[in-house]
Amino acid sequence: MKLSTRARYGTRALLDLARHEGEKPVQLKEIAGRQNISLHYLEHIIAPLVRAGIIRSTRGARGGLQLTRQPKDVRLSEVIQLLEGTISPVDCIGNPESCERADTCVTRDIWCEMKKAIDATLDSVTLQDLVEKQERKEAPLKQNA
């Protein structure tokens, strides 16, 4: 039940992108540098997000990445789904045919509840939430200002 580095790096990359967005695209290289992730590896991780249309990329000089939506409209459930494939703890949830006992299997019901709990958690968080949370963490001194 581990999250892959793809899911973790990818989420951090998206968060980084959300925080550094401006008029101009953000370069993958910058994100890789700031987040201390191998550029080549990050290319692979970002790919499904571009394909899914969460990120728009422009090639060539002065190119880079941009979010296609506002951070508040990007839910972590969607992001993780894209990065991790599926969040299901067992295959028989998505396709019951994969296991002959699926319909009488009581443990399956439990794994299904697990999935729901995970989904609900990730669905309740947006990129915007993460951005705000990080800003609060980084500026704790403001309280005394």
For 109, half-sphere exposure in the C-beta direction (CA atoms, 13 angstrom radius) is 4
Does position 12 interact with DNA (CB under 7 A)? The reply is no
Binding at 47: pick from DNA, a second copy, none (beta carbon under 5-8 Å per type): DNA
Q: How far apart are CA 134 and CA 16, in angstroms?
A: 10
For 13, half-sphere exposure in the C-beta direction (CA atoms, 13 angstrom radius) is 36
Mask 62-101, x = binds a second copy (CB under 8 A)?
--------------x-------x--xxxx-----------
Does position 50 interact with DNA (CB under 7 A)? The reply is yes
Distance of CA 138 to the CA centre of its chain: 21
Nearer of residues 2 and 142 to a second copy, judged by Cβ: 2
Q: Which residues 6+ apart lie within 8 Å of 26 measured at CB?
A: 16, 17, 20, 64, 65, 66
Residues that bind a second copy in the complex, under the rule CB under 8 A: 1-3, 8, 11-12, 15, 76, 84, 87-90, 104, 106-107, 109-111, 113-114, 117-118, 120-122, 125, 130, 133-134, 137-138
